[in-house]
Structure 1
Amino acid sequence: MKRVALLAVGSFNPPTIAHLRMLEVARTHLQTINTQVLEGIMSPVADSYNSKPSLIKAFHRIQLVREATKTSDWIRADDWECSRSTWTRTIDVLTHHKQQVTEKFGSDVGLMLVVGGDLIDSFTRILPDGSNLWNPADIIRIITEFGLIVLPREGSKPLETLEKMNSLAQYSDVVTIVEDEVCPTAVSSTRLRAAVSAGKSIKYSTTDDVIQYINDNNLYKV
């Protein structure tokens, strides 16, 4: 039986049930193809990721992820990425965690990246300075050296994006795309922040512990 760990990266600003479901659905799918998932890792980005005013400090975001995962027996928060002083490329985050899971579980354990379809759509994004947001070589390494599991989200077209990219078209058939047929949801961190700011309830869109931490620390209430 193949053994792997799963990694989810992002702002988690704040974490939602969609982030947790993403890992759960990926694990369930892998179990059907004789693959054991040993752990799930949620790694928030560092404060230097961008200058958006909506991105609260990593100190709070890692704690929110800890609150979100505290009742899970297999998903955990990891602060390596968010505690770094500079932004870390996803391929480097994967490389770090591959080393960690190898030391923890053995050299036969793989590491796979689990993402939402909107992240795949960002593969073609061009930055204001004209450079690519994603290095195509990094994407190929993610797919071939680690493994990529994608859960489509509202408005995303991950497979279409991959097939349109000349450098990635040949790899589109080895990217695993899994639909959440039990609980498809369009909940997002952006919507949660807007709801909190407007004084609306976000109960059942994330965990109660996350909601309590947001309220205790007066977060997102512009």
Structure 2
Amino acid sequence: MAALQRVPLVLLACGSFNPITNQHMRLFELARDHMQSTGQYRVVGGIVSPVSDGYGKPGLVAAEHRIAMAKLALQTSDWVNVDEWESRQPDWTETAVAMRYHHGRILKEYERSRSSTSSQSMPPQLKLLCGADFLSAFKIPGLWCDEHIEEVVGRFGLVCVSRGALQPERLVHESDALWRHRDNIFQVTEWVRNEISATEVRRALRRGYSVKYLVPDSVIEYVKRHDLYTEDSERGNQGKPLAPLAHKTQRPPESLDD
């Protein structure tokens, strides 16, 4: 009997990455191991998609710096890459829109590759990679529109990694919207607990404390060279509403923020 062909899968992580931390990168490795252990998937790529400056979050340094730090951090990865499309948008991009864009690009690349070879492999799927804290946003009434839930969770799917005391299974249980699509939510347990927070990294940097082993050395050197994460930078955007609120629309929050 022929072996079951595995579905090619790309993992997408959206967020501030302000700055990118070892925890952000670790999520990709955990997710890949889990998805491939199901026997259904073959993870063929990962995408880090930093949010644009238009999001307006306090303390958010310029996208050019966040992109540069992410690229430095991922130099040692042979399967996760940084994509600049979302960061170059003048306004904040909804998660559903970002997934739509990346899925379309992935399918175009697949069609080009298929036309040049005789391979009959299946087209890649795209799933959103997130921490368990992201799921808690679905419990907020009206924050997600039904169409975006159907698209992000129902059409694409989530790969959700436990984070600290937050457990994905509890959050899925408490949300009717997530429960409807529970078969398309892949829950990954982080047995070696890692609670590195970008917020705490920025705080340490402002106070002159070491962040070695929390972020890659290349990122630390970049921060020092460009004098990032100071008291002045943390005051940036203070008093301004976040883009979703400024536009008076309810849009989904970032996926991998801290």
The normalised TM-score by structure 1 is 0.91
Query: Does 2:53 match 1:47?
Result: yes
Q: Which of these residues, 180, 187, 193, is aligned with residue 177 of structure 1?
A: 187
Correspondence for 1:129 = none
Q: Distance in 1 between matches of 2:178 and 2:35?
A: 23
Correspondence for 2:17 = 12
Q: Distance in 2 between matches of 1:29 and 1:186?
A: 19
Query: Does 2:206 match 1:191?
Result: no
Q: Which of these residues, 184, 198, 216, is aligned with residue 207 of structure 1?
A: 216
Cα 1:161–1:32, aligned 2, differ >3 Å: closer, same or farther? Answer: closer
In the alignment, structure 2 segments of 5+ residues that lack a partner are 1-5, 112-121, 232-258
Correspondence for 1:144 = 154
Q: Alpha-carbon deviations, 1:51-81, whole Å to 9, x = none? A: 41x1111111111111111121111111000
The letter for the 2-side match of 1:21 is R
Q: Distance in 1 between matches of 2:167 and 2:136?
A: 7
Q: Distance in 1 between matches of 2:225 and 2:140?
A: 37
Q: Distance in 1 between matches of 2:199 and 2:132?
A: 16
Q: More relative contact order in 1 or in 2 (CA 8 Å, sep 6+)?
A: 2
Computed over aligned residues only, the root mean square deviation of the Cα atoms, in angstroms, reads 1.6
Counterpart contact for 1:9–1:45, Cα < 8 Å: yes
The letter for the 1-side match of 2:105 is Q
Correspondence for 2:176 = 166
Cα 1:134–1:164, aligned 2, differ >3 Å: closer, same or farther? Answer: same
The normalised TM-score by structure 2 is 0.79
Query: Does 2:135 match 1:109?
Result: no
Larger mean CA deviation between 25-34 and 76-85 belongs to 25-34
Q: State percent identity of aligned pairs.
A: 33
How far apart are residue 99 of structure 1 and its match?
A: 1.1
How far apart are residue 173 of structure 1 and its match?
A: 4.1
How far apart are residue 184 of structure 1 and its match?
A: 2.0
Structure 1 runs of 4+ off > 3 angstroms? none
The SS at the match of 1:79 is coil
Larger mean CA deviation between 207-216 and 158-167 belongs to 158-167
Equivalent residues, number: 215
